[in-house]
Amino acid sequence: MLIPAVTVPFPLSWGFSTRLDLAASLPDRRLNQVHRCGVVEASDAVVEGDGIWTTSPGTRIGVRVADCVPVLLAGKVAGGKPWVAALHAGWRGATGHGDPAPGGGILRRGVALYQSLGGDPWNLVWALGPAILACHFEVGDEVISAARLDPAWQDTLRTEGSAGKAHLDLHGFLHAQGLDLGLDPSKNGSVRFCTVCRPDLLYSYRRGETTDRQWGWIEIG
Ligand SMILES: [Zn+2]
């Protein structure tokens, strides 16, 4: 388990699982993830969505990923109540591409939801987890075009690989969005491991592991 190294605002368990972790430490599956931007409150039902949140202590929630970026958020909402969320952000989720609802990518929507509950973005503790990093994330032009529409886009997030194809720094893109949303850089506990570079630790869809996933998970308490 990879645990974000950052001070937490209330008693909290969280982390990014690896292939070495046993299923017993992982959350129940509550989301049917579809690479869009829906963020839902955790319930006992399995529902369609790519982000999940709760204010209930003892409810372990999470997202399953194998190259996409798992994003964990923790902060206090109105009345000082603890709030946590886990988001699944591939390039579609991070940009909002293909999701007709307004509000941009899933990190923007997750933080907006937190604000709607009375939370202050500056007080959020945040962590992006292991994902395919720029070293391996070769993408088509449509991906770069979608990312360029975001106000936090910077041209340095696009690099060129040895084959002359574009590579996207999806981690860096989400980080830039976080800062644009008013998150505090000193409360960032991100773990930057590349899923393709680390077969010893991590599952990677691009490397051919199409069924197994790691979790980004979080629990109040
Ligand atoms: Zn890599």
Please give the model's pTM, rounded to 2 decimal places: 0.97
- What is the fold of 12-131+185-220? CNF1/YfiH-like putative cysteine hydrolases (3.60.140)
CA distance 153 to 149: 7
Concatenate the DSSP letters of all residues of 118-167 into one string.
T--GGG-EEEE--B--TTT-B--HHHHHHHHTSTT--GGGEEE-TTS-EE
Chain position carrying tokens 């590349």 = 194
CA distance 26 to 218: 10
Residue 74: beta bridge partners? Answer: 84, 125
Neighbours of ion ligand 1 (CB under 5 A): 135-136, 194, 196-197
Q: What is the pLDDT of residues 114-126, one digit of tens each?
A: 999 999 999 999 9
Q: Looking at the predicted structure, is the pLDDT value of residue 147 above 90?
A: yes
Contact 124, 111 (CB under 8 A): yes
| Span from the CA of 146 to the centroid of ligand 1 (angstroms) | 22
pLDDT band at 193 (very low <50, low <70, confident <90, very high): very high
Q: What is the pLDDT of residues 71-91, one digit of tens each?
A: 999 999 999 999 999 999 999
Domain boundaries, the chain: 12-131+185-220
Q: How far is CA 54 from the centre of its chain?
A: 16
| Span from the CA of 83 to the centroid of ligand 1 (angstroms) | 32
